[in-house]
Amino acid sequence: MAEIRISLTEQQQVLKKAVYELCKLYPGEYWRELDETRAYPEAFVQELTKAGYLSALIPEQYGGGGLGILDAGLILEEINRSGGNAAACHAQMYIMGTVLRHGSEAQKARYLPKIASGALRLQAFGVTEPNSGSDTTKLQTTAVRDGDTYVVNGQKIFISRVLQSDLMLLLARTTPLSEVRRRTDGLSVFLIDIRGLNGLTVQPLRTMLNHHTNALFFDSVVIPADSLIGEEGKGFAYILDGMNAERILIASESLGDGRWFIEKAVKYSKERVIFDKPIGANQGVQFPIAKAHMAVEAADLMRLKAAALFDAGEPCGAEANMAKYLTAEAAWEAANACLDCHGGYGFATEFDVERKFRESRLYKTAPINNNLVLAYVGQHVLGMPRSY
């Protein structure tokens, strides 16, 4: 039976503090400058990798930290709580599960130690397509077996960190939709080396936040057959399998965002004096911050529950989804309270509020839209009729 701990262990507190200390070396100015030029936080990611934080979920036998999902979540949370943006490097943690659970021993031995040491980066996850969006089973990218290779054709959109990664986890259709019994059948996952891959065009896509995302075009791209993870046609189940980890890790980032906003808002509202008193004395300023704080704290309890179930190997789909939803909404509430309390200064880049505001907003939309989390809870948890 999973035991839900409300307080962190001493080891987890030490971990949190160490990550926060490292992050302090990369203050607001660092992230602001990257945001302006849409550059990748190379130095920060390298330092995190060197310290072993990004390999937290890789088992010790492959050179990783062998930690649990809550520990990994705390690492991402602290990055965001410090004012940074863990999105630059979170994918490595949540993609890892697919390789760990379904990859062959040869694939694990070949890739994991190098990913753990930082010699290889696995930061790209290719699922979304222009014509299928949230309806993943309708994706149109195909991978057709040809001897000891697969030939990939199709398009992907919003695929992040492709230019900063050596490896990509790719979801493609290996059996046409018209030939499968269930629409979730016939999709396969591949772990591919994307360095100098012939026929792959990467077109960077500027978005409202610094996220290194791209449109991808696969024109008869030849990949080795042994890049297939697990069995052909079972890829959708493998990806779904990894979703709970992804939800819990993203929830942790939102908690970090929420806490950054609250800390920033509290500090500013105590310092800023208008009409001869600190603005935080006004209930119109104070109450939204207090409400957002409560929302963040409540959402954290759901994250702790989801993580405890996950780490105990128990089903946690409902809790992981609810944690993702609640934390994203709480962070957004905190973002608005923080922006409001800063008045005009909230819009000035040097305060970092507007940057974090944009960054935190993403998690209501991606990696899964909160609407679809509501649909999951309505349909799968509460048993109401399906909308799709």
Ligand X SMILES: Cc1cc2nc3c(=O)[nH]c(=O)nc-3n(C[C@H](O)[C@H](O)[C@H](O)COP(=O)(O)OP(=O)(O)OC[C@H]3O[C@@H](n4cnc5c(N)ncnc54)[C@H](O)[C@@H]3O)c2cc1C
Q: Does 158 engage in binding with ligand X (CB under 6 A)?
A: yes
Of the CA atoms within 13 Å of residue 82, those in its CB half-sphere come to 25
Segment (H or E) for 122: strand 122-126
Query: What's the min distance (Å) between Cβ of 260 and ligand X?
Result: 19
Tell me the residue number closest to ligand X, measured at CB. Answer: 133
Euclidean distance between CA atoms 339 and 334, whole angstroms: 8
Query: What's the min distance (Å) between Cβ of 157 and ligand X?
Result: 7
* Member of 90, 121, 173, 211 binding ligand X (CB under 6 A): 211
Residue 62 or 376: the one with the smaller Cβ distance to ligand X is 376
Euclidean distance between CA atoms 110 and 283, whole angstroms: 58
Euclidean distance between CA atoms 310 and 210, whole angstroms: 30
| Positions 116 through 145 that interact with ligand X (CB under 6 A) | 125-128, 133-134
| Positions 353 through 372 that interact with ligand X (CB under 6 A) | 362, 365-369, 371-372
The runs of H, that is alpha helices, within 183-342 are 235-271, 283-311, 317-341
Query: What's the min distance (Å) between Cβ of 307 and ligand X?
Result: 22
Q: Does 334 engage in binding with ligand X (CB under 6 A)?
A: no
* Member of 160, 210, 227, 252 binding ligand X (CB under 6 A): 160
Query: What's the min distance (Å) between Cβ of 271 and ligand X?
Result: 33
Mapping DSSP onto H, E and C, the string for 326-347 reads HHHHHHHHHHHHHHHHCHHHHH
Residue 28 or 378: the one with the smaller Cβ distance to ligand X is 378
How far CA 188 is from CA of 232, 237, 244, 353, 385, in Å, comes to 5, 9, 19, 41, 29
- Among the listed ranges 5-13, 153-161, 224-232, 307-315, the one in contact with ligand X (CB under 6 A) is 153-161
Residue 22 or 127: the one with the smaller Cβ distance to ligand X is 127
34: its two tokens: 């990257």
Applying CB under 6 A, the residues found at the interface with ligand X are 125-128, 133-134, 158-160, 207, 211, 213, 362, 365-369, 371-372, 375, 387-388
